[in-house]
A and B are shown apart, each in its own frame.
Chain A
């Protein structure tokens, strides 16, 4: 298995490394510049105001560097070459591990670089408080009360940043899994690479339409001011759970109903 994993990593390493480095650079630059036109209470907020565009594009970023691999191997019939050498399930499993793992790595490293830039590289911000305390009439910090995991965000920003980056990496891996499953059955590169992004868009639109916006995968990716007191933590799991459910349904539909085979038959 180790050899297989190494082999798959060798196929993906350059696109993954290039995306990881360039995304890290973009996130760092955004986290270190955009905050200047905002009134912020905490340094880590610089990271939050810098990444909305990356958040919007995360289903594309998760998929583009990795999603093409299985498609190409099915297209050029490389899979047939592997057939006498390795068990189908082992080969697909190793490929999925590398695809999902790479996607995780790209997002985790890039986001963590943004956190580090916001906390340690850019100049410290001068906090501007906007919440007025009704009893004293003076402005007071609001983040600890209003922000998602406010206490951790304010008191241990690095811990919060690492935790959220890990979570974002995990969500990227889920989206990459969706693309991977699509690439197992679909022979259209555009559907493989763009499908997950359109899924996220459609999910966003439908949940907004039914006023269920708290369950969106985008909200789960960047909870920001998500109110845990009112909603609890579990709605944050709804987006990824729906994506996994959709992935499973896709796999069942193609394998059981459409009878599409992964290996050329």
Chain B
């Protein structure tokens, strides 16, 4: 029955669009609407008004194996509709990503379908009644494997946001070329089977080229982020070190003066008072000492910057770090992102005279590193904590644009490294504190 073919086609497109957009398929309103709309669309595009007594006999059966449509005009309509569905129903993806995801879905659809037709052709005759169902079944299987790879195994991280002009142009171009080939072939499956070797070679080339472009771009983006973090925070710590060195000479003089005070003071309390008054502005803040002792200059510089920002708001930021960053597997720029989001959120939630405590320590059992940021605040329920990590969740003013992605991004980094999120209500110096952190390798 042709309806079953349309149903399979709908499921395949749903799986592809959501996988490539990096969105898990959940039984929720948007996904159901997407499914129903696309399904109705496929039914409409395949329906031909005939004189048949029963309506389901009006479905066109010819040349729908490569795509859910069989002519260029309907292909254009389908493409436009999928663009609209993806932009409205796949949560929070940019306009450019909608275009790339839509074209890429069609591209991957055709590639998977071609391989499936070739595979099914090896085990059965093309004119067999079940041929259309078998190759659709194989396509669905391949699409589900892609979903498993991209969503369940978190491979979509390697696709990034399809950012960069070059990968976008290449991806859309590849899709357009493959669609043109299908239009040239008049949507006929026989074209695939007759030119099997050529088609398989060509499409394998297209897949390999696209994978290579995506991988290279992702690598480059990571490199750029790393360099950007180094460029941003290294000068800060260097500046701090120079400042401390410049004061070294002054420290020597002060030491001599302290020696003289001890020698000349009539008694111990007098000496203590004089030394205390003299060294009041000399002793280096313990927080700065903590930052200077870090083995990662980037993170040291970053923490120092945040300490200055907190200081401007009359908030104290205290780093308590008992770990060497050299042993952490997670990349430095990702650590900066995690710390940045957690500290920024803590600063925004704090008031003047509050103290924020940043703790980085190694857990003995699992060999993971715990990064947590504590700020004073009323206790929260577990549901509240879970919601905080959802995409788009924010307690702040959303008028200035989209917000609520910070903790969501932290969650993505943690999931990527198979780490854990840590949230707890705690007490420090008799004040209730909220502690939000991560456990990462």
Contact = CB atoms under 8 A, between A and B. Distances in A.
A87 to B, nearest CB: 24
Contact of B84 (A194, A205, A208, A264): A194
A195 B81 CA distance: 9
A188 B87 contact: yes
Pick the 3 closest A-B CB pairs, nearest first.
A190-B87, A194-B80, A190-B84
A205 B43 CA distance: 12
Given A56-B73, A198-B80, A208-B49, A191 B44 contact: no
A166 B212 CA distance: 52
A194 B83 contact: yes
B95 interface: yes
Interface in A195-248: 195, 197-198, 201, 205, 208-209
Given A198-B77, A198-B84, A201-B77, A190 B95 contact: yes
B3 to A, nearest CB: 18
Contact of B49 (A188, A189, A209): A209
Interface in B13-68: 44, 49
B88 interface: yes
Contacts of B84: 188, 190-191, 194-195, 198
Contact of A188 (B44, B77, B88): B88
Nearest to A60: B80
Nearest to A202: B44
A194 B79 CA distance: 10
B5 to A, nearest CB: 21
Given A56-B73, A197-B80, A201-B77, A191 B49 contact: no
Given A198-B84, A208-B49, A209-B49, A189 B95 contact: yes
A14 to B, nearest CB: 21
11 contacts: A56-B73, A188-B87, A189-B87, A189-B95, A190-B83, A190-B84, A190-B87, A190-B95, A194-B83, A198-B80, A264-B399
Interface of B: 44, 49, 73, 77, 80-81, 83-84, 87-88, 95, 98, 399
A205 B80 contact: no
Contacts of A188: 84, 87-88
Nearest to A197: B80
A201 B81 CA distance: 11
Chain A: interface size category: 10 to 19
Nearest to B81: A198
A154 B49 CA distance: 36
Nearest to A206: B44
B114 to A, nearest CB: 28
A264 B400 CA distance: 12
A188 B88 CA distance: 7
Given A205-B44, A208-B49, A209-B49, A191 B87 contact: yes
A195 B83 CA distance: 11
A191 B89 CA distance: 12
Nearest to B99: A190
Contacts of A209: 49
A188 B73 CA distance: 24
A265 to B, nearest CB: 10
A56 B81 CA distance: 16
Nearest to A195: B84
B49 A190 contact: no
Given A191-B84, A191-B87, 12 more contacts: A56-B73, A188-B84, A189-B95, A190-B83, A190-B87, A190-B88, A194-B84, A195-B84, A197-B80, A198-B84, A205-B44, A208-B49
Contacts of A56: 73
Contacts of A191: 84, 87-88
A175 to B, nearest CB: 15
B109 to A, nearest CB: 19
B36 to A, nearest CB: 16
B79 to A, nearest CB: 9
Given A208-B49, A209-B49, A190 B98 contact: yes
Contacts of B81: 194, 198
A190 to B, nearest CB: 4
Nearest to A201: B77
Contacts of B95: 189-190
A55 to B, nearest CB: 12
Interface string A179-196: 000000000111100110
A198 B88 CA distance: 15
Nearest to A210: B49
A197 B84 CA distance: 12
Nearest to A211: B49
A209 B77 CA distance: 18
Contacts of B98: 190
Nearest to B80: A194
Contacts of B77: 198, 201
Nearest to A208: B49
Contacts of A195: 84
A118 B44 CA distance: 37
A249 to B, nearest CB: 19
Contacts of A208: 49
Nearest to B400: A77
A143 B88 CA distance: 48
A189 B88 CA distance: 10
Contacts of B80: 194, 197-198
A264 B77 CA distance: 32
Nearest to A194: B80
> Residue among A190, A195, A198, A264 with the most chain B CB within 10 A?
A190
Nearest to B399: A264
A190 B96 CA distance: 11
